[in-house]
Structure 1
Amino acid sequence: MTAPTTRAPDPARGLPGPGEGPLRTGTPGELLRTHTAPDGGELTLRVLDPDADLDVLHAWVSRPWARFWGLGGLTRSALRDLYAHVGSLPTHHAFLVRWDAEPVALLQTYEPAHDPVADAYVVRPGDVGAHFLLGGRGPRGTRLWDALGPLVVGFCLDDPRADRVVVEPDTANDRAHARMRTLGFEVAAPVRVGDKDALLAFLTRERARPLLDAAAAAVRR
């Protein structure tokens, strides 16, 4: 993940100030969204709790397949402090997704105008930045992204002011590239974000319509 920052946007471009963008959040552990999974199970999205969720977080970021997340070398204490800091920002938020109470994914959203990615492209009002770490496999025999796609995209575009999801995975992260294409993202260009060579991609509300329709059918809350 890219280290979060806050910065002042160019007012001439009509970009929102810190915390004024189309992002949802809440208090640590708060339930924000519940979906019915394709297998009939329950998917939930809650605000990350840096204390209660620390065991899950540390186990995930320490695994070899999470190397692109860039936090594998952190101690438990440092990881907890990092996510407590993220939770204190008005522009960056973190959430834990569970499938039938089992943790499966970490989602982070952010306001691109207040993030290093703003140096890599022209931010538009309505842009929602997202990072995604897949930590679990979900129940056997299920197509994980048939469930997670509508949940994640539906949540990112939940605010009617949100018009486009922005992602920038590492250029070497082939799994993330395949996942974003499966969800309908369009690749824009290779860019430099902080100290990372990344692949910039966008998913507009219009292109996300099938996922949003699936989310509307699955949502319980």
Structure 2
Amino acid sequence: MSIIEQHIFSKEIKGIGSILLRPFNINEDIDILYNWVKQPYAKYWGMLDYTKEQVFNSYNEIESNPHHFSYIGVLDDRPIFLMERYKASEDIIAKYYNAKLNDYGMHILVAPAEKRIPGFTWKVFSTVMEYFFSLPYVERVVVEPDANNEKIHKLNKKAGFVYQKEIELPYKIASLAICNRESYHNAVKKITN
């Protein structure tokens, strides 16, 4: 099955092309994922020192969770990002805030740039947000980035996430932030006006 046949969401980006979202395939995608998580900018992913086998085993465990789904974003038949969607009420994050049934968590890792495209990371991020809010059962998107990850905090705030508090997870100090459809659409209106 081709990438176009298996994609679950797409968004046309003016001047760039169509970004497709397809399910992550651990056997086919492990090499690209391993390359991405080894990049210095991916330090917050927590896998800089992992072997390929350790990355594989970690994602094999993630993929076996019935409340967690991973996807690859593709542009011009080239993988450009990894995105994870998980049910927040069924995740460790639910212990740290008043989780609602239709809260979904999100993680995103953009591939190393082959050529610089102004605003590219925002285009990827907004595609992911539009995917989440295209799902009728998603009421809020929850994120818990590392408290020191300033780049992702800027993107989150640009997308309308409201920061709640810092939380101490077993593996990091995180900034908990939440975004609903209205907050996201209002944030996008501000950018386009």
Q: TM-score range by the shorter chain?
A: 0.7 to 0.9
SS where residue 206 of structure 1 aligns?
Answer: helix
* Equivalent runs, 1:71-90 vs 2, <5 Å: 71-90=47-66
Structure 1: runs of 5 or more not aligned: 1-28, 214-221
Residue type matched to 2:98 in 1?
V
**How far did 1:139 drift?**
5.6
* Equivalent runs, 1:190-205 vs 2, <5 Å: 190-205=166-181
Residue type matched to 1:50 in 2?
I
Aligned to 2:9: 33
Select the residue among 42, 46, 49 that pairs with 2:18: 42
1:147-169 Cα distance to aligned partner (Å, 9 max, x none): 22331012122221211100010
Distance of aligned partners of 1:124 and 1:176 in 2 relative to their CA distance in 1, 3 Å threshold:
same
1:185-218 Cα distance to aligned partner (Å, 9 max, x none): 11111111222100010111111225889xxxxx
Aligned to 1:161: 137
Aligned to 1:180: 156
What TM-score, normalized to structure 2? Answer: 0.87
CA RMSD of aligned residues (A): 2.1
Structure 2: runs of 5 or more not aligned: none
Q: Retained in 2: the 8 A contact 1:154–1:212?
A: no
Higher strand share: 2
Q: Paired residues, what number? A: 185
* Equivalent runs, 1:1-221 vs 2, <5 Å: 30-137=6-113, 140-209=116-185
Q: Retained in 1: the 8 A contact 2:39–2:112?
A: no
- What is the identity percentage for the equivalent residue pairs of Structure 1 and Structure 2? 26
* Structure 1: 4+ residue segments shifted above 6 A: none
Q: Retained in 1: the 8 A contact 2:160–2:187?
A: no
Q: Larger RCO: Structure 1 or Structure 2 (Cα < 8 Å, ≥ 6 residues apart)?
A: 1
Higher helix share: 2
